[in-house]
Structure 1
Amino acid sequence: MCGIFAYLNYNVERERRYILEVLLNGLRRLEYRGYDSSGIAIDSDLDAVEVSLKEAPYESAFPLVFRQEGKIESLVGSVYAEVDAMDLNLEKPFSVHAGIAHTRWATHGVPSPRNSHPQSSGAWNEFIVVHNGIITNYEVLKETLIRNGFNFESETDTEVIPKLAKFVFDKAHEAGQTVTFSQVVFEVMRQLEGAYALIFKSPHYPNELIACKRGSTLILGVKELTDISNSGALFHDVKALTTNGQPKELFFSSDLCAIVEHTKNYLAIEDSEVVHIKDGCVSVLKFDYDKEKPASVQRALSVLEMEVEQIKKGNYDHFMQKEIHEQPHSLTTTMRGRLKHNSVLLGGLKEHMKTIRHSRRIVFIGCGTSYNAALAARPILEELSSIPVTMEIASDLLDRQGPIYREDTAVFVSQSGETADTLLALEYALENGALCVGITNTVGSTLARKTHCGIHINAGCEIGVASTKAYTSQIVVMVMMALAIGADRISTQARREDIINGLSDLPNQVSEVLKLDREMKDLAESLINLESLLVFGRGYNYATALEGALKVKEVALMHSEGMLAGEMKHGPLALVDETLPIIVVATRDSCFSKQQSVIQQLHARKGRLIVLCSKGDAQSVCPGRSCRIIEVPQVADCLQPVVNIIPLQLLAYHLTVLRGYNVDQPRNLAKSVTTQ
């Protein structure tokens, strides 16, 4: 779960300082994917290494690699310090230059400069690589390379990749063969097992870049620097880039958010595709283990529907704060064009709706917050469709090899669309013949491409590691999915109309809840020194309890547990005393009277209660105001989890800030869990 970025300018003059800033800023946009170390690679000046080049195995510029432990700004400071020390000319212009960059979330080896990327083949940096993913057979490859005279400096699995590239190159050279950059990369890919996105740079092939992927996200961004108003086909076909020779800037990135400020024209690279940039030309080749020569692939560019403002904090102090307060807008965009005259239109499911309605069961599969969102939507889907709905945590499904049948509809929920366990579960479900539906926030993601059909939640870019607006939009999308599946049932017509009316007004209700910001900060101040928090919910709001506790846990670094209130007397009641804060979600739904009973029992045991209830219910849930009350608007029961989670998101945010932690970059976590 790292971030990789690359920038190549062709036939357009850019100073070295500009190139550095593009690379470093690309890493800033990707820092949510990993922030324990980072690095970049650019070209030196030929005259700066003139003496050394007499011994170098190539005649092009020597690649400079800068690596540093810590946040991106640590790298920025060290890069400019090193540049000054070596008297490197930052004003030198390049008409063509290829640079690569990486921000790391450690998997193999502790955070340190030697374990940071780019990783090198050794002396002279003949091959350097940035990598997102895990190479599962790296130990075997490492042993083979050591036997062939290679020395390893890092603890990473990545280091075998550039060394393997040099091994392939040297063998060909010794045999008197000329080998192309793409041929080297193809041979390396034949040896690698695991999930990866890779970008290669080599002075043997100056001003070229090669990218490839298997399982991890990789995006190509294209910016033409000429007037294209009369050449509409130019951005339709990537192949057109191989023929025009026009000035252009090309980008590789792990995420669209790092290229949106440069261009909106992009290509989501598919698994086993190799993208080779040479002389300003882009070649897309398909790697196949069974074929010696790769096939050329014709791909179309897409246009990114994202604005630069979405990746900036604006007037907010943190991205998490911004994204919490963006929820009225994200919910509006999620529903836009989908609610029509008391009906729901989901074009992504239209062709498969008959199959879904005749499913033996619907299986929701996800991890973390996405799993919780599906759990919140399960009751309404069961009610409106009368189809059994089961829940699966992706990793547990894989561990058990749980049964998935051809008659099942498997719904995969993932904000990024790249969650490793969810994607592995998707492969498992496809192998077993189930209809696979994807629900994701990321256009062009692996989940979006590999499922049979799906729904884009359209919540906008989410940069804070702790998911907030994606969670509420996921719930709304799954409620709309339930409405669409049950649209053929006359008996539920009135119920569906009430929910649709509630959806239309939901953004306004969420705006009302956000006015609790100051109140939740006050509550956070009263909890700042405590070590634990319990959240009780049931029915629709069992998911609210789980998600609220998860938010506090992942950003405020405070122990918190979400619990099913119906299980209170089967163990958790033993924890209750006058010091442990307990949040009880008790808004109006079919479980309301049961939650009133839970509150009474907790109160009888002197529990320190915080009750989240519907407006006007304070006296009925907590006579005498013996509890701390949080009042929220009442909406349709299946939509109440959207409203109820927001005070808990605000609580988690304020707890984190007051406790002095980084709310956007929690300890040990990163945004897109693309590795196991």
Structure 2
Amino acid sequence: MCGIVGYIGTQQAGPVLLEGLGRLEHRGYDSAGLAVLGPGANPALRTVKKAGRVRDLREGLPKRFSGKVGIGHTRWATHGPANDVNAHPHTDAKGDVAVVHNGIIDNAAALRHRLAREGVDLVSDTDTEVLAHLVALSSADTLEGRVSEALAFVEGTYGLAVMHADFPDRIVVARNGSPLIIGVGDKEMHIASDLAALVRYTTTVAHLEDGEIATVTAGGFTTYRSDLSHTDRPTTSLDLDLSAYDPVGEEGGYMQREILDQPAAAERVLRGRLDERFGTAHLGGLNMDARETRAIRRVKILGCGSAYYVGQMGASLIEELARIPADAEAASEFRYRDPVIEHDTLYVAVSQSGETIDTLLAVQEIRRKGGRVIGLVNVVGSAIARACDGGIYLHAGPEVAVASTKALTTMYLGFALLALQLGRTRDLSIADGKRLIAGLQALPGQIEEVLTLDERLATIATRLAEADSLFFIGRVRGYPVAREGAQKFKEITYRHAEAYQTSELKHGPLALISADVPTVALVPDDELTDRNVAALHEIQARGGPLVVLTHAGVDLGDVECERIDLPRSERELDPILMAIALQLLALHAATTLGLDVDKPRNLAKSVTVE
């Protein structure tokens, strides 16, 4: 959940590293730091670290901070508070070794005790500092050997980069459970934990695998296993929209830009995947033929946060269209309950980044026990994409804001395509298949319609922002949408928000309804409209303010509320239009409160530590 950058080449490293850290700040923004090897025959290692944002680090840099080899880091705190001392890079006592690290060293406490017994003075609260001292204590002849010896003592996850004043021509990097990418340039090389830091300089990259170490020099890179036997790590060329990473100055930041990109993102994920003739979807990336598809007896979906909630939406779609039992589970809990892996169950891992550690570990558990797992991921070449048997790339484009918006929309559409293909190999009629295809084709335009409600939603959001606590309610298809709406609201407004099934209000939560607790209710025009409207009357009778997302023509009776009529899609597809309206409510409530919607406190974009 932090950002790593590294550079070695012909340019001054400092500006390159700072620019990369700025692009990675969505990965962690508690503190930041740089280490650079100065020029000359006996280069000295210089380190600058600062609590706060990357701009604070930039302002604190010395005027003369030269060197063509360097590493940098922007932190999301795990061990120790966010202060200058705990910021990365960390060095050994002599200042010859510098390390930046993402992940968690599980046996850090034991290693700290051991180092203290050997007379090492540890100055920070972090787990990372032990790595610098372990490298310094190694007597191996090469930097690769010293890093390998140090890592032999380590239990846990890491993506790390190491520099040493005695080896000024190289940076050594290693990965185990935390992403690390090498970017290949012209007489220069780049290192990063996220593609965002590399796109300005190169789109030719190599993804390290778990257990690999690499030596990076200005002329290229060499990869090894942990025992330093050579591996052959190929490079790939990426097709990326560089403008998506460009800074934004407007109040809504990246989040607003990404919400507005959703019509185009929806078109991208659907393009070439709809078969109008046969009323089905084409998902060749699943790597399953019709016979294998028909053998599926259950679908289990795994994700974290918003990916978990959209997994619940997807499970509902699959059960409804394919008539296969389906459910979603938090990936973070999955492997700890020693799950039974069934040969006729299709497991689906959902992750925007493709690097979410909890989801990756769940995938590895399934594969280890012989299960089939596919991925719904947005980042090509990511760890989850590589670990799965097949999958669906989302084509959402880069998503920078911590709160997921367009990736969530494309995840939902990915599930709609999967449900359609599964359904048409079973009993879903061609007429229903064509009906759903027509609905999917209309969705980009309907998303545009939702976005035209922005001003109305902003007005309502201003009033919601005044509340300390809110309820979000929905039934069946609407419940996971309500959960996602509550998630968005609390993560960027810092207001308490809870989601409930509408039918569960009378079983306890109704006791909390008052004039100070607004309820955002999802009331689509479907088979449960009457039940939902009855619940609105119960809330109104107890003085609770109401915001109702519904469809034109739905009779709410004498309910007093802020009513928002959304475009009407097919019933199975209505949830995503409601989710987008909830994104706008959260965005405008947060901006009303003067909050940074792109970098909510205590959160980071990609969770790469357990």
TM normalised by structure 1 equals 0.87
**1-structure distance, mates of 2:233, 2:65:** 39
**2-structure distance, mates of 1:255, 1:146:** 34
**2-structure distance, mates of 1:655, 1:30:** 25
Q: Is the 8 A contact 2:520 2:547 kept in 1?
A: yes
Closer, same or farther in 2 for the Cα pair 1:263/1:540, shift >3 Å?
same
Give the alignment of 1:81-160 within 5 angstroms: 83-84=62-63, 88=64, 97-123=68-94, 125-160=95-130
In structure 2, the residue matched to 1:242 is none
Aligned-pair CA distance for 1:252:
0.6
Aligned-pair CA distance for 1:641:
1.2
Which stretch of the first structure deviates more once superposed, 213-222 or 344-353?
Answer: 344-353
Q: RMSD of the alignment, in Å? A: 1.6
In structure 1, the residue matched to 2:260 is 325
In structure 2, the residue matched to 1:216 is 178
Give the alignment of 1:5-20 within 5 angstroms: 5-9=5-9, 12=10, 14=11, 16=12, 19-20=13-14
- Within the candidate set 603, 606, 609, 1:672 is matched to 606
- Within the candidate set 303, 326, 331, 2:237 is matched to 303
Aligned-pair CA distance for 1:69:
0.3
Q: Is the 8 A contact 1:356 1:409 kept in 2?
A: no
- Give structure 1 stretches of 5+ with no counterpart: 47-58, 173-178, 225-247
- Within the candidate set 222, 241, 247, 1:283 is matched to 222
Residues 545-578 of structure 1: CA deviation (Å, up to 9, x unaligned)? 0000100000000001111112111111111223
In structure 2, what residue type is equivalent to 1:581?
P
In structure 1, the residue matched to 2:507 is 570
Between Structure 1 and Structure 2, the one with more helix by share is 1
Aligned-pair CA distance for 1:278:
3.4
**2-structure distance, mates of 1:533, 1:561:** 6
Aligned-pair CA distance for 1:279:
5.6
In structure 1, the residue matched to 2:590 is 656
In structure 2, the residue matched to 1:266 is 205
Residues 308-336 of structure 1: CA deviation (Å, up to 9, x unaligned)? 10112457430011111110011111111
Residues 17-75 of structure 1: CA deviation (Å, up to 9, x unaligned)? xx3111101000000010000100112354xxxxxxxxxxxx62101000000011110
Closer, same or farther in 2 for the Cα pair 1:312/1:634, shift >3 Å?
same
Q: Secondary structure at the match of 2:152?
A: helix
Closer, same or farther in 2 for the Cα pair 1:607/1:396, shift >3 Å?
same
Residues 406-446 of structure 1: CA deviation (Å, up to 9, x unaligned)? 33211111111111221222222222221111111111111
In structure 1, the residue matched to 2:35 is 41
**2-structure distance, mates of 1:66, 1:377:** 47
**1-structure distance, mates of 2:211, 2:284:** 29
Aligned-pair CA distance for 1:7:
1.0
In structure 1, what residue type is equivalent to 2:210?
D
- Within the candidate set 347, 357, 374, 1:420 is matched to 357
Q: Is the 8 A contact 1:384 1:492 kept in 2?
A: no
- Within the candidate set 580, 591, 594, 2:517 is matched to 580
Aligned-pair CA distance for 1:360:
3.1
In structure 1, what residue type is equivalent to 2:255?
M
Q: Is the 8 A contact 2:299 2:315 kept in 1?
A: no
In structure 2, the residue matched to 1:471 is 408
Whether 2:189 is the aligned partner of 1:250: answer yes
Q: Is the 8 A contact 1:313 1:322 kept in 2?
A: no
**2-structure distance, mates of 1:353, 1:66:** 58
Q: Secondary structure at the match of 2:379?
A: coil
Closer, same or farther in 2 for the Cα pair 1:89/1:607, shift >3 Å?
closer
Q: Secondary structure at the match of 1:271?
A: coil
Aligned-pair CA distance for 1:89:
6.8
In structure 2, the residue matched to 1:167 is 137
Closer, same or farther in 2 for the Cα pair 1:500/1:363, shift >3 Å?
same
Give the alignment of 1:313-462 within 5 angstroms: 313=247, 316-317=250-251, 318-341=253-276, 342-351=279-288, 354-462=291-399
Aligned-pair CA distance for 1:143:
1.7
**2-structure distance, mates of 1:371, 1:331:** 20
- Give structure 2 stretches of 5+ with no counterpart: none
Q: Secondary structure at the match of 1:331?
A: helix
**2-structure distance, mates of 1:264, 1:333:** 21
**Same amino acid, percent of matched pairs:** 36
Structure having the higher Rg? 1
In structure 2, the residue matched to 1:534 is 471
Q: Is the 8 A contact 1:284 1:298 kept in 2?
A: yes
In structure 2, the residue matched to 1:70 is 52
Q: Secondary structure at the match of 1:306?
A: coil
Q: Is the 8 A contact 2:308 2:330 kept in 1?
A: yes
**2-structure distance, mates of 1:431, 1:369:** 26
Residues 178-198 of structure 1: CA deviation (Å, up to 9, x unaligned)? x11111111122111111101
Closer, same or farther in 2 for the Cα pair 1:579/1:89, shift >3 Å?
closer
Residues 378-414 of structure 1: CA deviation (Å, up to 9, x unaligned)? 1220122222112211223233223332332111111
**2-structure distance, mates of 1:652, 1:490:** 39
Residues 616-673 of structure 1: CA deviation (Å, up to 9, x unaligned)? 32xx02x346211011000011211110011211111111111121111101111111
Q: Is the 8 A contact 1:35 1:71 kept in 2?
A: yes
**2-structure distance, mates of 1:207, 1:2:** 26
Q: Secondary structure at the match of 1:399?
A: helix
Residues 513-532 of structure 1: CA deviation (Å, up to 9, x unaligned)? 00111111111222232101
Residues 353-372 of structure 1: CA deviation (Å, up to 9, x unaligned)? 54343123111111110011
Closer, same or farther in 2 for the Cα pair 1:491/1:330, shift >3 Å?
closer
Q: Secondary structure at the match of 2:507?
A: coil
In structure 2, the residue matched to 1:32 is 26
Closer, same or farther in 2 for the Cα pair 1:491/1:546, shift >3 Å?
closer
In structure 2, the residue matched to 1:635 is 569
TM normalised by structure 2 equals 0.96
In structure 1, what residue type is equivalent to 2:4?
I
Closer, same or farther in 2 for the Cα pair 1:520/1:568, shift >3 Å?
same
Aligned-pair CA distance for 1:591:
2.1
Q: Secondary structure at the match of 1:194?
A: coil
**1-structure distance, mates of 2:65, 2:442:** 59
In structure 1, the residue matched to 2:142 is 180
In structure 2, the residue matched to 1:23 is 17
**1-structure distance, mates of 2:183, 2:428:** 50
- Within the candidate set 491, 506, 509, 1:554 is matched to 491
